Chain A
Amino acid sequence: MHELSIATAIVEACVERAGSDRILRIRVEVGHLAAVLPDSLRFCFELCAKGTTAEGAILEILEIPGRAVCEACGESILLSSPFGRCACGGKLEIVAGQELKMRDMEIA
Chain B
Amino acid sequence: MCTTCGCGSNETTIDGAKVHVDGSSAHDHSHSDAHTHEHSHAHGDEHGRLHHHGTASAHSRTVSLEEDILAKNKLLAERNRGWFAGRDVFALNLMSSPGAGKTSILERTIRDLQGEITIDVLEGDQATTSDAERIRATGAHAVQINTGTGCHLDAHMVAHGVERLDLKQGTMLMIENVGNLVCPALFDLGEHVRVIVMSVTEGDDKPLKYPHMYRSGQLLLINKLDLLPYVRFDVARCISNARQINPELEVLTLSAEKGDGMRDWYDWLRTRYPRRRVA
Contact = CB atoms under 8 A, between A and B. Distances in A.
B72 A12 contact: yes
8 smallest A-B Cβ distances: which pairs? A2-B183, A108-B60, A102-B65, A1-B151, A35-B212, A83-B245, A100-B69, A104-B64
A105 B63 contact: yes
Interface residues of A, number: 34
Contact of A102 (B67, B150, B212, B215): B67
B231 interface: no
Contacts of A101: 66-69
Interface of B: 1, 6, 8, 43, 46-47, 50, 56-57, 59-73, 150-152, 154, 182-183, 185-187, 211-212, 215, 244-247
A107 interface: yes
A67 B107 CA distance: 42
A23 to B, nearest CB: 9
Nearest to B73: A9
Given A2-B186, A9-B72, A19-B47, A82 B215 contact: yes
A107 B62 CA distance: 6
Contact of A82 (B154, B211, B247): B211
B65 A9 contact: no
13 contacts: A1-B182, A5-B183, A12-B1, A17-B63, A24-B56, A24-B60, A36-B186, A81-B211, A82-B245, A103-B64, A104-B65, A106-B62, A107-B63
Given A16-B43, A17-B50, A101-B66, A35 B73 contact: no
A91 interface: yes
Interface of A: 1-2, 5-6, 8-10, 12-14, 16-19, 24-26, 28, 35-36, 81-83, 85, 91, 100-108
Contacts of A35: 182, 185-186, 212
A104 B62 contact: yes
A106 B60 contact: yes
Contact of B69 (A9, A81, A83): A9
B68 to A, nearest CB: 6
A19 B45 CA distance: 12
Given A9-B72, A19-B47, A82 B63 contact: no
B211 A102 contact: no
Nearest to B49: A17
Nearest to A3: B183
B124 to A, nearest CB: 14
A17 B65 contact: yes
A106 B72 contact: no
Contacts of A12: 1, 6, 8, 72
Nearest to B64: A104
Contacts of A17: 46-47, 50, 63, 65
A101 B182 CA distance: 19
A82 B246 CA distance: 10
A68 B68 CA distance: 21
B42 to A, nearest CB: 11
A5 to B, nearest CB: 7
Contacts of B59: 108
B139 to A, nearest CB: 34
Given A2-B151, A17-B47, A17-B50, A104 B63 contact: yes
